[in-house]
Amino acid sequence: MSVPSLFTFTLILRQRRAAIWGPWAQRTQRLSLSWGPLLWAAGKRSSLDLVELSETELKEQFVRGDGPGGQATNKTSNCVVLKHVPSGIVVKCHQTRSVEKNRQIAREILQEKVDLFYKGEDSDVYREKKASEKKKQEKKRRAKENLERKKHLKEMLQLDRK
Amino acid sequence: MKCLTPSLLRRFWRLLPQYVSAGPSQSPNLSPKQSSLRQSCSARPGLLTAPDVVSYWQKVFEKNGIPEARESSEYIVSFVLGAKTFQSLDSEKLHAPLTAAQQEQIQQLSCKRLERMPVQYVLGEWDFQDLTLKMRPPVFIPRPETEDLVSLVVEEESRKCGVKNSAFPVAVPPPVILEIGCGSGAIALSLLRKIPQSRVLAVDKEEAAVDLTRENIHRLQLQDRIHVLHHNVSYGSAKHLLPWGPMDFIVSNPPYVFHEDMASLDAEILRYEDLDALDGGDDGMRVIKTILTLAPSLLKDSGSVFLEVDPRHPGMVEDWLRAHPDLLLTLHAVHKDFCGKPRFLHIQKQSK
């Protein structure tokens, strides 16, 4: 194949490839992702300052059985049992049908429990819970006050009519 | 083959007062066991809550030798109540009596489970990482181990991206990924979601798998960056796939069960799943070898192949690659699954 025709062929090939991928064929900068299966620390609760759990302190159990696993098994028990060895706290998670998600959620819950265990009232988890309880009580009190005020107003109006 | 016997069916209907016929026959003749089941119902007599029904079907499954009796029952009841798992059911749903329609639906689904149909096919859906995917026999059901295969690819892509960006602060092309044997589309769609801008070519030799993957793509509205091809990689060269390449990654969960192990698989698998998606031939390596043979002509330099395999395969693959140096592929790493078994291979194409 001569050089010019090879060049044309490559050009056609690249154009065809661009056509296959449609309008998204423009070269764009890739976003870098920092999450990986071993980076459990980055979770929903990054706003709270919690004790970090090291994987070496954790013991995980799955109901997967002793069999070969993988393709040879089709078990649906995705429950994850996670233990923090130093404190002895155990979390059982079967919130979702995905093992990976259950592992992640188990770690989040365990992290909160361990933080509470070691820090007690100093724990952000404890403080957040107290704050939300206080808010609830405030809301109830205000609702009660409103109700009383309306009742009082109603009574006043009825007296006026008489 | 065990199934719901007429007597069992009658016993079940008797527990639901709305189904008792308003005829001359009066209160059903309950055996002591049945009446104790009714007494244990937490709501008013005759009204059944989720835990009651789970308990009932668990016993039925156990009597009929259905594996994972409790889990199956929980998944079915949760599904009918709109939740993914029993543990995630809110307190209101847990204590509310089930409607007749709900009980009917549970019964229909449970009858399928009594035929050893896998729960994922019974429900017609299952979850894989963050995705809920449609499931349909005989298309292979994604296994939980495979979630980690996706994470490995994402990690490697992120690592490469970091290296490139530090060296050349210039726009780089989006990664191109080929998945061989896409099945329901679990791996392909997860990668699409987790690696923004990635392009995926998913191939499968079975039309049923191609159709199901396309359905899942449309359900998740991810059609822009993925193409599904009905193609058998075992037949012929890589020329059908070249127009989409060269690829940064080839990913696969190929059939890797040793042929001699096929007969001992559970009835759920043997009766309902496509056995071609499991049988890897005598040494379980037939399709693995095909993929590795194709890889060099499809991969970019330093491109990677990620495979899920049987725990016996890492050493076998390493030996095979050494015996085929012309392929210029090396076994870069072996990763374990969440049960500690060597499960994933990272093979790299050497750069010239």
Q: Edge to edge, what strands does the sheet with A58-62 contain?
A: A58-62, A80-84, A89-93
B86 near B70, Cβ under 8 Å? no
Per DSSP, which regions of chain B are E strands? Answer: 125-128, 131-134, 176-180, 199-204, 226-230, 247-252, 299-308, 329-336, 342-349
N- to C-terminal Cα separation, chain A = 108
B334 near B348, Cβ under 8 Å? no
pLDDT value at residue B232: 95
pLDDT value at residue A50: 85
Query: Cα–Cα distance between B331 and B346 in angstroms, integer?
Result: 6
pLDDT value at residue B254: 98
Contacts of B277 in chain A (CB under 8 A): 71
Query: Cα–Cα distance between B152 and B300 in angstroms, integer?
Result: 19
Tell if the CB–CB gap between A36 and B127 is shorter than 8 Å: no
Pairing label, strands A89-93, B299-308: unpaired
Report which residue type is found at A91. V
Tell if the CB–CB gap between B120 and A76 is shorter than 8 Å: yes
Pairing label, strands B342-349, B329-336: antiparallel
Measured N-to-C along each axis, helices B207-219 and B186-194 cross at an angle, to the nearest 10 degrees, of: 30
Q: Which of A101, A24, A29 is nearest to B200 (CA)?
A: A24
This prediction has a pTM of 0.80
Tell if the CB–CB gap between A98 and B311 is shorter than 8 Å: no
Structure tokens, B301:
């330099």
Question: In whole angstroms, how far apart are CA B142 and each of A120, B118, B194, B221?
Answer: 42, 12, 17, 20
Find the DSSP H helices in A37-123: 99-119
Spans of chain A, pLDDT less than 70? 1-46, 64-66
pLDDT value at residue B236: 65
What pLDDT digit, counting tens, does each position of B151-166 carry? 999 999 999 887 766 6
Structure tokens, A140:
């109830």
Tell if the CB–CB gap between A33 and B154 is shorter than 8 Å: yes
Q: Which residue reads 């609760």 in tokens?
A: A45
Spans of chain B, pLDDT less than 50? 1-4, 6, 13, 15-43
Min distance B225 CA to chain A CA atoms (Å):
7
pLDDT value at residue B288: 98
Q: Is B65 helix (H, G, I), strand (E, B) or coil?
A: coil
C-alpha R_g of chain A: 30
| Count of CA atoms in the C-beta half-sphere (13 A) of B34 | 16
Tell if the CB–CB gap between B199 and A24 is shorter than 8 Å: yes
State whether residue A31 sits within 8 Å of chain B by CB. yes
Cis before B246? omega within 30: yes
Beta bridge mates, A62: A80
Measured N-to-C along each axis, helices B32-39 and B50-63 cross at an angle, to the nearest 10 degrees, of: 150
pLDDT value at residue B161: 82
pLDDT value at residue B127: 97
B254 near B287, Cβ under 8 Å? yes
pLDDT value at residue B4: 47
Q: Buried b vs exposed e over B223-252: b needs ≥16 C-beta within 10 Å?
A: eebbbbeebebeeeeeeebeebbebbbbbb
pLDDT value at residue A26: 35
Min distance B270 CA to chain A CA atoms (Å):
10
Tell if the CB–CB gap between A100 and B118 is shorter than 8 Å: no
How many other C-beta atoms can be found within 10 angstroms of the C-beta atom of residue A42? 10
N- to C-terminal Cα separation, chain B = 59
Pairing label, strands B199-204, B226-230: parallel
Q: Is the ipTM of this complex over 0.85?
A: no
Tell if the CB–CB gap between A31 and B343 is shorter than 8 Å: no
pLDDT value at residue B3: 44
Query: Cα–Cα distance between B348 and B327 in angstroms, integer?
Result: 10
Query: Cα–Cα distance between B351 and B339 in angstroms, integer?
Result: 34
Contacts of B152 in chain A (CB under 8 A): 37
Sign of CA dihedral A91, A97, A103, A108: negative
State whether residue A29 sits within 8 Å of chain B by CB. yes
pLDDT value at residue A22: 40
- With the CA atoms of A124, A130, A131 and A136 taken in that order, what torsion angle do they form, in degrees rounded to the nearest 10? 150
Tell if the CB–CB gap between A24 and B85 is shorter than 8 Å: no
Query: Cα–Cα distance between B272 and B246 in angstroms, integer?
Result: 36
Which residue among A31, A37, A71 places its CB closest to the CB of B143? Answer: A71
Structure tokens, B248:
């940064």
Structure tokens, B90:
């809110």
- Find the length of chain B: 352
Query: Cα–Cα distance between A89 and A136 in angstroms, integer?
Result: 29
pLDDT value at residue A161: 81
Which residue among B261, B308, B338 places its CB closest to the CB of A99? Answer: B338
- Find the length of chain A: 162
Contacts of A96 in chain B (CB under 8 A): 84-85, 88, 127
pLDDT value at residue B46: 65
Query: Cα–Cα distance between A120 and B192 in angstroms, integer?
Result: 43
Min distance A122 CA to chain B CA atoms (Å):
30
